[in-house]
Amino acid sequence: MKSTGLCFFGLSTKDLDAFDRVIEFVAKKGKKFHKCSIESAAIIIVNDDSDSMALALQQQQAQIIISISDNDDCVIGDYKIKRPLLITRLMRVLDQASGQNSNSENNKTTETPQVEEAINKPIEKGGFHALIVDDSAAIRKQLELELRETTISADYADCGKVALDKINKTQYDLIFLDIIMPDIYGYEVCKQLRKKENYKRTPVIMLSGKTEPLDEVEGIIAGATTYLLKPVKHEDFQKTLTRISKWLHDYA
């Protein structure tokens, strides 16, 4: 597979390290990127400051521009990424940009496919049915209490095997899925779920106490919609549920 050239302007060492990790990781999955001069680059990645932008635009030929910014005010770039530079966010934008030509529209979204279609309509919390999968009784109870603030009903599974059995018998509207379980890891459960036609678009929220960025990447590759760290914080849970509920409102 042909490697896509990347040229960087004005990025910090920390930002460049994040891109290095992405380049290394996606290479294992068969997608190749490499750093190069602007003359041979297909994509220019530039920090959102006037000097870097001016230099990049001055030398730009037909390359796609990805701008990196600390806020939402940047108006230059075919794709825009707001810090912090999450590995999943970088992967999605690089994948999109490498498949587009220089006439791609500005402001491409960087959310996962299940969420990016959502629009800001009022949330209707009634009528949805969730499956909570976690081998920890404490976590299952915590999420049960969180859902009491909504009218979303839930079933529960304490392992991957029980979860798949329930999924085969019941159509759930959303699934909270632990990663580390004693029988089948959540990644594998998610992969099997995504093979089912009636579950290809169902929101899957991965749950894990692991904090390494590549753990989140594995979840996205398996087909997860988003990711929550355990112990789950009330604010994070409700924020994620709000986003997912918007999607369910439009497509359920």
- In this structure, is residue 18 part of a structural domain? yes
Average pLDDT over residues 164-187: 92
User: Do 162 and 218 fall within a single domain?
Assistant: yes
Per the domain annotation, does 119 fall within a domain? no
Give the model's pLDDT for residue 143: 92
Q: Are residues 92 and 135 in the same domain?
A: no
pLDDT at 192: 94
Supply the DSSP string of 71-88, one letter for each residue: SS----SSEEEESS--HH
Same structural domain for residues 153 and 68?
no
| Mean pLDDT value across the chain | 81
Structural domain includes residue 171: yes
Regarding whether 244 and 146 lie in a shared domain, the answer is yes
pLDDT in tens, 226-235: 888 888 888 8
* pLDDT computed for residue 75 by the predictor: 65
Shared domain for 101 and 152, answered yes or no, is no
Residues 9 and 63 in one domain: yes
Q: Give the end of a domain, one of 75, 109, 143.
A: 109
Task: Give the pLDDT mean for 19-37.
Answer: 87
148 and 240 assigned to the same domain? yes
Q: Looking at the 3D structure of the chain, how many domains does it have?
A: 2
Q: Assign 107 a pLDDT band (cuts: 50, 70, 90).
A: very low
What is the distance of C-alpha 241 from the center of its chain?
15
Residue 87 has pLDDT above 60, yes or no: yes
Mean pLDDT over residues 81-96, rounded? 83
**Residue 104 shares a structural domain with residue 208:** no
pLDDT greater than 50 at residue 42: yes
The reply to whether 114 falls in a domain is no
Q: Is the pTM above the cut of 0.85? A: no
Average of per-residue pLDDT across 44-58 = 87
| 220 belongs to a structural domain | yes
Domain harbouring 63, CATH code:
3.40.50.2300
* Exposed / middle / buried, residue 127 (Cβ in 10 Å: 0-12, 13-18, 19+): exposed
Q: Is 191 helix (H, G, I), strand (E, B) or coil?
A: helix
Domain-terminating residue out of 57, 77, 109: 109
* Residue 155 CB-density burial (10 A; 0-12 exposed, 13-18 middle, 19+ buried): middle
20 CB contacts (<8 Å, ≥6 apart)?
A: none
pLDDT in tens, 189-202: 999 999 998 898 89
The answer on pLDDT for 123 being more than 60 is no
For residue 84, say if its preceding peptide bond is cis, omega within 30 degrees of 0.
Answer: yes
DSSP 65-129: EEEEESSS----SSEEEESS--HHHHHHHHHHHHTS-TTPPSS---S-HHHHT---PPP--SS-E
The answer to whether residues 242 and 149 belong to one domain is yes
The range of the structural domain enclosing residue 150 comes to 129-251
Whether 124 is in a domain gets the answer no
Q: Choose one of 109, 140, 161: the last residue of a domain.
A: 109
